[in-house]
Amino acid sequence: MPSTRYTTQFLLSALAAEQFPAPTVPEIAFLGRSNVGKSSLLNALVGEKAAKVSQTPGRTRAINFFALLDPRQQSKLIFADLPGYGYAKISKSISAEWPKFIDPYLAERGPLKLCVCLVDSNIPPQPNDGKLVDWLRHAGREFLVVATKTDRLSGNARTRNLLAIKKTFELDEVLPVSAKTGAGIKELWIRIEASSAIEAV
Ligand code: GDP
């Protein structure tokens, strides 16, 4: 778990770069295909509020920003929940909008310290996930691929699928997580705080 007990405060939903919050504290972005388990993971990381806000109709196409406040109510981190991309009908228009404000966000956002890229551990590596990883790599962004829903797999299948993800996307590491069991959540917090240069105590 995190070094501090954070409370989560919804900041805003942005549909254009002009609406992004003022860059103040380190920011962590969460990316993945629709249904990958992003809301569930955010829920496991910071509580229900973030997940609920991000799934509110009208906000699913936006970048939803959340401040994480320490016990003194000081903002320490921002989580940016990016729109799900992928295969659902609605995502077609999201993909069309991708270059307009997501691309510049990922390319230019100053305080962005880490992109957490979610991939589903239960299915074969998906080309659009690969595209995102390649894009981030070329943009020189720090990213971490997180394999979701690992509780659904037996030990052997998990090992096999994680290896396939690593190989296909040419990664040194993949972090397996389960929002359901909490596996990997602590490790993800350690990575988030390390990237943000927040001292774990
Ligand atoms: P999102 O569209 O990426 O926000 O995905 P959701 O968080 O809404 O999850 C999509 C579906 O996957 C839901 O039916 C969840 O219950 C399920 N799911 C998400 N995370 C897990 C997990 O860690 N384990 C299991 N077994 N199911 C999960």
* Pocket of ligand 1, beta carbon within 6 A: 32, 34-40, 84, 148-149, 151-152, 178-180
> Which of the listed CATH numbers 3.90.1300.10, 3.40.50.300, 1.20.1250.20, 3.30.70.20 matches domain 2-196?
3.40.50.300
111 CA to centre of ligand 1 in angstroms? 28
72 CA to centre of ligand 1 in angstroms? 32
Q: From first to last of its 201 residues, what are the pLDDT tens digits of the chain?
A: 787 789 999 999 999 999 999 999 999 999 999 899 999 999 999 987 777 877 787 788 889 999 999 999 999 999 999 988 865 444 455 456 565 788 889 999 999 999 999 999 999 999 889 989 999 999 999 999 999 999 999 999 999 999 999 999 999 999 999 999 999 999 999 999 999 987 544
Stated pTM of the model: 0.93
DSSP string, the chain: --SS--EEEEEEEESSGGGSPP--S-EEEEEEBTTSSHHHHHHHHH-HHHHHHHTSTTSTTSEEEEEEE-TTS-EEEEEEEPPPBSSSHHHHHHHHHIIIIIHHHHHH-TTEEEEEEEEETTSPPPHHHHHHHHHHHHHT--EEEEEE-GGGS-HHHHHHHHHHHHHHTT-S--EE--TTT-TTHHHHHHHHHHHTTPPP-
Nearest atom (ligand 1) to Cα of 33: 3
87 CA to centre of ligand 1 in angstroms? 16
